[in-house]
Structure 1
Amino acid sequence: MDRRTLLAGMAGLPLLGTNSALAQEFPARDLLGVIQWGAGGATDLTVRAVTPHVEAALGQKIVLQNRTGGTGAIGLTYVHGQPSDAYTLLFGAENPLLYRVLNISRLDYTDFYPVCLLARSVPVIVANKDKPWNSLKDLVADVRANPGRIRMAGTGPGGQAHVVSTMIASTGPFRHISVPFDGEGPGLTAIQGGHADWMAAGSGAVAEHVRAGRLKALAVFNDAPLASLPGVAPATADFPELGRLMPWGSFYGVWVKRDAPEAARNKLVQAFRTGAANPQFQQLMANNGNVIMNISGAEADAFLARWQSVTAWILQEAGAARTSPAELNIPRPS
């Protein structure tokens, strides 16, 4: 071995040791968790329920911050602009999978690594408790009789309410006013205050409101009832043709930048896997009609790709897509 080769090898030793030490130390300080949506929505409630259990497994605090706006794009863009050190987490839902189709952002979840898809929910169509509707059929009939007058609370293009209303519109005319809010929580509050009339929101966000009589549940957007909302009919009871689109719904998870260090990603995966397996968290999800997922990495990426394919092409067929999924190399669902 010549002198230059020996020196080069020796120079690399401290660097390797430093990287190894950094990997072992992660996380050495508090983390920031950015929630795409406002307080009180299904994503916010799910995140705040699991975080204490994750902190216990991780050994550090996760400081939660709601960064709302732009159908969740404000929060996603902020996290993408932070260092790739895994100290900034993105807590989000399904919306980024439709950003490119709806021309909201060039970023989506392909730019992030799925640390954990925590749970998925079934959308529930709820209304102000004083409205005369008692079923989805009643709501649709009123919208068709009064086109452009009934107000739907939503979270913007690509949000759950937007997609559900697009699916309903596949059964016939369904022209309403869309009132945007920075998350399901503010939207549900607006309905209770009479500032909007109805909304499709995650079962986890609406369950307590419905049980307390603050909101009226018209239907679960599913092909079967939910045990957490007894007596509420599935949407297919009134519109059987919607069955071809189900099951469908929101999901909630945590991401870091795709190029974050693998060792740090692995520690986060393990901590969130432990948190999502906590019996207290699992019982809360069940009570709210949510289904535990607790998947990460390649398995989560496969789920996301399938969801994007199905939903993007639904929007395309309904004329709601701004850019064809084909142009974005999003395959048609098989």
Structure 2
Amino acid sequence: MRGIDSLVNIWQLNTHELYSTLEGHYASVTCVAFAPNGLFAVSGSEDKTARVWGLTLGLVVSTFKGHTDTLTAVAVMIDSRRVVSSDRQGGLAIWLADNASILQSWSGPSFCLAITNNMKFLVCGSGDNSLRICSVSREEVRHTVSHSEEVTCFVLTMDSQHLITGSRDMSLKVWQVDGGKLAQVLVGHTDHVTCVAVAILNKCLVVSGSRDSNLIVWDINTGNDMHVLRGHLGYITCVKVAGDGSLAVSGSEDKSIIVWDTKRGQVISSIQLQIPILNLEMSTDASRITVLLLENKCLPIVCLHNTTATYVKMPTYVAPTKEIEAAATNRATNARGSFKGSQKCDTPEFTWERPWP
């Protein structure tokens, strides 16, 4: 949990107790991400740094100081070795978590970040009607995907094959990540799309929420809506799907959380809170749900003791260590022996910073 007091609090979901408080930033913390291996967390701050925290002892492992403005997002690749971070000036960087050695840096849209599980592509945006898909290895902008109005949400499928985007134009679009081609257009909402989620095991199932107070369960292979989920009285602010795809959990402006059966399209349970829900995160079996409330310092943890979803382990990957370390060493060696120049890609919105040979 991030905060305006420059601290990072780690909570134990099973016991609901504060596990540790991480101190080290000098300004408000703006973003936090956990490593897939569960051994460390990364935080970004208004102090223009990103810090890697070992979760066992709660100590700083490394501090990345390559940004020139407040950090807007941090993400850890599935290898749990490389970190991607961005700042308000449009600076993005890929660096090693263990020693903060920079691997790549460039300029471009930087207010939202996501990395494919195969670690080949990075998706980023700046709050307009488009997203950019960047190739991590080739240092170039690969594709731009867009809507007629502002993109409000997006998610990558677990197999790294598709990017699903939602927009104020009331539609969702399914894109091929490698190629950037439009695969499906999902039409059914009658107001802005606000959120979208996918399952780990069922790569065809997508659930979206909207300002029309409804959620829709989609089959992205056919583009058909399987169910329209009605039950909220206000617009949907967030949705998550259990790892096996059997349940969806949504939060709304109407101060309620609803658990849905995605196969039958029915309400399983409804939880009424006293404050509008902004966002939620949950375990893959939906047994623990952490809720972010509007303008409230409390962080409720909701327990579904009789969840019907099956626990699904998140995808893991063992990185080729020697290749990553060699890339950092070679880049540092080349930088010492040459001037640093900038090479522009096809679009003027991106500038890769790299040493000239």
- More contact order relative to length (CA 8 Å, sep ≥ 6): 1
Report the structure number with the largest CA radius of gyration: 1
TM range (shorter): under 0.3
Greater helix content? 1
Greater strand content? 2
Normalized against structure 2, the TM-score is what?
A: 0.26
